[in-house]
Structure 1
Amino acid sequence: MSFEEVLALPVAVNVSTAAKAFGIGADKAYRLIKQGAFPAQTIVVGDTVKVATASIRKVLGASQ
């Protein structure tokens, strides 16, 4: 995922999109989330997990 694509993400994204931003697969991202080791803030809504885009940008140094 390019710098421009990261900057264009909505406020929260699904785990697959967040994983792409970090250059890892979705399975690894879910494992890291389960272990409490995912580098960005996750938001659990029922059975759905979202990732806060601001935290992805912060970790990647891609703040606007």
Structure 2
Amino acid sequence: MTLATPPTLDEIRTWPATVSIPQAAEGLGISKSHLYDLVKRGEAPVRTLSFGARYRVITASLVSLLESA
């Protein structure tokens, strides 16, 4: 089994203004199910937008979090 290489911070900076939960989870190095759980509990470390049952992560928030790590 080959694991995908996580995106670099420079790559994440080129992402669109918002990204899906699975894509954001990949950038954070966590599972998408864990990030979904955090979002639903209001404990996500990144800003999200809710569109009904769909969520989007604000890329600038993701970049800011990763820069401070």
TM-score (norm 1): 0.88
Amino acid at match of 1:19: A
Please state if 1:41 is matched with 2:47: yes
Among 9, 14, 26, the residue aligned to 1:3: 9
Distance 2:31 2:41 in 1: 16
Q: Which runs of 5+ in 2 are unaligned?
A: 1-6
Report how many aligned residue pairs link the two structures.
Answer: 62
Amino acid at match of 1:22: L
Query: Aligned Cα RMSD in Å?
Result: 1.2
User: Moved runs in structure 1, 4+ residues, more than 4 A?
Assistant: none
Contact 2:46 2:65 in 1 (8 A): yes
Distance 2:52 2:45 in 1: 21
Q: Secondary structure at the match of 1:43?
A: strand
TM-score (norm 2): 0.83
Among 5, 27, 35, the residue aligned to 2:33: 27
Amino acid at match of 2:12: V
**CA deviation profile, 1:16-63 (whole Å, cap 9, x unmatched):** 00101110010000011111111000100122100000100111118x
